Amino acid sequence: MASIPPPPPPPISAAFKPHMLFDNKEDLKNVCAHVEYDEAYFLKEIRKRVAFLRTRLDNAVEGLPFYSHYAPVAPILQDGPQCGLIAVAMAMHQLEIRPNVTVDEIFSRAKELGFTNNGEMYSVRDMVSLVRDLGAEAKMSSNMKDSMELFCEHLKQGGAILVPYDSDRNHEPCCKCGHKAHWAIVTGFLLVPKEYSVEEGNSQSLIDTCNTAQDKQDGQLPYLQDEELPYLHHYRNTYYKMVAQCGRNISKVPYQDADTSDNDAAVVSDTNKTNTMGDNLNTTKHALKISDCNPRAKHSEEQSKHKSFNVNYEDFQVYVYARQGKSQHLALWKYDALAESNSQLVELGPDRELDDNTYILSEGSVKEGLCNKFVKLNG
């Protein structure tokens, strides 16, 4: 008698398919819409990106410190050529200016103002006007290659930056003369020392500048050491802001193991969240080595205390945290690569010229509208 084959395994829940590739964008968008974007999620993203970057560095000796400045924003996925409008929507949410505004509302307003037909935004000036119309402070800046210090200082003070660039197949910056023009929002940066001595045990140019003797005496260092990745240090101001935005107590944030895979989706199930965020907090690792506190009450105090220290950015390799509308993943790119891509946007791609859509080039060309320009935003 023939043996009966065992039954197939039960299907994986749609809410928990870690590292799965979705069949279409709608499935991915639906899952992204139901992910709980709290500080534990954002910390996991940061750790994942930083740990992956570390594996690619030639000078990643033991103890090489990484200094992270990051303001969180949840991803929004685009539908059609809406990358600029997606970046605007994320900026409105991140800066808490219009936290409930939708991409459709922004698209309708951009069309009313004559800036777009299909969602495209080929003018930095129009982006500035649109952002101002939505209630944010914005201005156009240029020459990103020579503006690294001003760029980072703007982020350090809590602003956001929208940058047009050429997007490669993996969404990283590339140089294709504007044929793959795309928009990203930059909400933070990462500093990695160019030179580091194991004997010295730290990056003197930054530690000596910002972690002063008075700060050490007060126990209020501008940077907080990550407990799981001891080489990673979070800038206190932006960290407290992240926790305040998420509305939860920093001392009760458990750590979820980060991985370095880069597949199209990594989603935590509701069941797994319940187990890690529930009653077992006393057995989980806290996010950072700091005492219990009320971050929402402490944020303004900490921000005023540590807002003025200086960093010599030339001593560091600078990376930027970015999001763009074709992936739910947080990106970490070299600043120089993004600046180089931004500086060579000169013409419309052949695929755009041949399709049936009509695109608005309000300044006459891609070069005049986008090349070597970006948008700075404040709340």
Tell me which H or E stretch contains 140: strand 137-142
- Residue 83 is among the residues annotated as catalytic for this protein: yes
Spell out the residues 6+ positions from residue 9 whose beta carbon is closer than 8 angstroms to its own.
none
173 strand-pairing partners: 167
186 strand-pairing partners: 161, 322
Please answer whether residues 162 and 374 qualify as being in contact, where contact means their C-beta atoms are separated by less than 8 angstroms.
Answer: yes
Tell me which H or E stretch contains 327: none
Structure tokens at 70: 């990051």
Tell me which H or E stretch contains 192: strand 181-193
Report the SS3 class of residue 188.
strand
Report the SS3 class of residue 252.
helix
Q: Which phi-psi region, left, alpha or beta, contains residue 80 (left: φ > 0; alpha: ψ -120 to 50)?
A: left
Task: Fill in the amino acid letter for 59.
Answer: N
- Rounded CA gap, 172 and 184, in Å? 10
193 strand-pairing partners: 316
The single residue of 83, 152, 174, 371 carrying the catalytic annotation is 83
Q: Identify which of 183, 228, 18, 199 has the alpha carbon closest to the alpha carbon of residue 87.
A: 183
Catalytic positions are 83
